[in-house]
Amino acid sequence: MRPYDIIMKKRNGEKLTREEIEYMIMGYVKGEIPDYQISALLMAIYFKHLDAEERANLTDIMARSGDMIDLSPINGKKVDKHSTGGVGDKTTLVVAPIVASLGIPVAKMSGRALGHTGGTIDKLESIPGFKTSLTLEKFFENVNKYGIAIVGQTANLAPADKKLYALRDATATVDEISLIASSIMSKKLAGGADAFVLDVKVGSGAFMKTINDARELAKAMVGIAKSHNKHAVAVLTNMDEPLGIYVGNSLEVLEAINTLKGHGDSKFVELCVTLATWMCYLAEIGSFDECKEKVLNTLNSGKALEKFRDLIIAQEGNPDVIDSPEQILPISTKKLYFKASKDGFITKIDTEKVGIACNYLGAGRTKKDDIIDHSVGFKILKKLGDTVKNGEPIVELHVSNKSDVETALKLLNEAYFIADTPIESPNIIIDTVK
C-alpha cells in the first residue's frame, strides 16, 4: 500500500477499505506517514466525504488507537451523554446527578474548554478541592459506591483523534460531518458505555449552524453507534442564544446548583429533563413517560441535589458549596455592564461571539495549556425576544484585573442585535434522531 494511491482514490471519490484507512491512520499515529499526506487525505475527505461504512471503520480505528475503557467492573447499564459544545452548557452538572440519583451508574469522562465553548471539567474545578483526575480503580470504586464519578479523559483516549484534530484545526478540515462524527464517537466508544445520548447543538453558538447540518451529524453519530451494536439517541437543541443565564466556570456551577434546588431557567430545565429522560430510557428503567416522571420527581424531591453533594464529597471538593455556593465558589465581585444602545427587541445573538467575549475575560483557553480564571463570566440579563430600553443592562460582566474588558464589550456589542419588531423566543428542543 502507498499513501499516494490511497489519497488519489479518495480524491477521485472512491470508497476506502478498512485496511486502507487503518494503514493511513495508524501510520500517522506511529509517525511513519507525514503530516502533509494526512492533510491531503483529510482535504480529499472534506470534498468527497465518507460513506457510513467508511465512517464506522474510521471511528473504530481511532477508538482502538489507545485505551479502550472496560466499564464491566461497574454494575448495571452504563449510559453516557455528550454535547457537541455550546455556550453556557452546564447540562452535565445537572443531568448526571439526576440520572445517578435514579440508580443508573454515571461513569463519565468529560472534556475541557476548547475554542468558544466551555468544558465540564474546568467548571467542576471551580469547586475548591474538587479532583477531576482519579486512577481508574478509584473511578470504578466511586461509581460503585456513590453511583457517580466525573473525571477528565485519560491522556491515551483515542490518541489518533487528538493528532488528527490538531491537523484538521490547522488545515481547515474541522467542519466535515464524517470527520466530526467519527472524532466524537471514537472517544465515546473508547469510554466504554453501553448507550449514548447525544446533545447536538444547532445555531449561532454551535459548530453546526443549520438544522440540516445538525441532523446529518446526528444521523452520522447514531449510525456509527448502531454499527458498533450500541444504542444512541441524538437530540437537536437550540444554541442561538447562551444556554441558561450564566456563562463562565464558577457561575455555571452556581446555576447548576440553583437548578438542582428547583430555581432553574425554564428552557435549561427542559433541556436537562429531556436529556436525563433519554438516558433513563436507554438504561431501560421504564417507558419514556415513566422515565420523565421519575426524572421530574427526583429533581423536585432534592434527591438529585444530594447526589451532586455525594459527587463533590467523593471527589474531595468542599461540599458546603451546595448550601452556600456564592460564598464558596470563586466568583469575582467586580462587575460592570454591557448596555442597550437603543430601545427595541433582542432579535439575534451571535452566541459564538458571546463565548469568545467570555474567553477575553479569562474564562476559556485558546491554547491547550492556558490557565483558566474560574471567577469571571457573564450573567445574561436579556435573551432572544426580550424587550430592552436604551441604557438598560443586557449582560452583567464579572471581571478580574487580567480581563480584556474592552475587547469583551466590543464583541458583545457585535453579538447583540436590537430591532424594532419583536421575535418569538426559540424552543430549546428542535428534533430527535433515533
Smallest separation (angstroms) from ligand URA to the CB of 132: 18
DSSP 208: B
Q: Which residues contact 253 (CB under 8 A, 6 or more apart)?
A: 90, 93, 123, 124, 126, 127, 321, 325, 329
- Cell matching residue 43: 482535504
Rounded-to-integer distance, Cα 213 and Cα 220, Å: 11
Residues in the chain: 434
The reply to whether 398 belongs to the active site is no
Q: Give 85 or 317: the residue with its C-beta nearer to ligand URA.
A: 85
Smallest separation (angstroms) from ligand URA to the CB of 177: 10
Rounded-to-integer distance, Cα 115 and Cα 205, Å: 11
Distance of alpha carbon 357 from the chain centroid: 19
The reply to whether 353 belongs to the active site is no
Helix, strand, or coil (residue 373): coil
Write the DSSP assignment of 414-426 as a string of letters. HHEEEESS--PPP
Distance of alpha carbon 14 from the chain centroid: 33
- Cell matching residue 404: 480584556
Q: If residue 308 lies in a helix (H) or strand (E), which one and from where to where? A: helix 303-314
Catalytic one of 82, 90, 163, 379: 82
Q: Give 187 or 307: the residue with its C-beta nearer to ligand URA.
A: 187
The reply to whether 187 belongs to the active site is yes
Helix, strand, or coil (residue 336): strand
Smallest separation (angstroms) from ligand URA to the CB of 117: 9
Catalytic one of 78, 90, 168, 201: 168
The reply to whether 168 belongs to the active site is yes
Catalytic one of 65, 183, 204, 332: 183
Choose among 266, 374, 273, 395: nearest CA to 325: 374
The reply to whether 265 belongs to the active site is no
Q: Give 56 or 305: the residue with its C-beta nearer to ligand URA.
A: 56
Smallest separation (angstroms) from ligand URA to the CB of 114: 8
Q: Give 84 or 375: the residue with its C-beta nearer to ligand URA.
A: 84
Q: Give 186 or 258: the residue with its C-beta nearer to ligand URA.
A: 186
Q: Which residues bind ligand URA (CB under 6 A)?
A: 84-85, 165, 174, 179-180, 183-184, 207
- Nearest position to ligand URA, beta carbon: 183
Catalytic one of 55, 112, 163, 187: 187
Q: If residue 38 lies in a helix (H) or strand (E), which one and from where to where? A: helix 35-48
Q: Give 33 or 180: the residue with its C-beta nearer to ligand URA.
A: 180
Q: Are 239 and 232 in contact (CB under 8 A)?
A: no
Catalytic one of 60, 161, 199, 240: 161
DSSP-derived pairing of the beta strands 231-238 and 429-433: antiparallel
Look at the alpha carbons of 95, 98, 102, 105 in this order and tell me if their dihedral is positive or negative.
positive
Q: Give 245 or 275: the residue with its C-beta nearer to ligand URA.
A: 275
Neighbours of 326 (CB within 10 A): 12
DSSP-derived pairing of the beta strands 344-349 and 416-419: antiparallel
Region label for 235, one of left (φ > 0), alpha (ψ between -120 and 50) or beta (otherwise): beta
Smallest separation (angstroms) from ligand URA to the CB of 63: 12
Smallest separation (angstroms) from ligand URA to the CB of 415: 22
Smallest separation (angstroms) from ligand URA to the CB of 355: 14
Q: Kindly list the catalytic residues.
A: 82, 161, 168, 183, 187
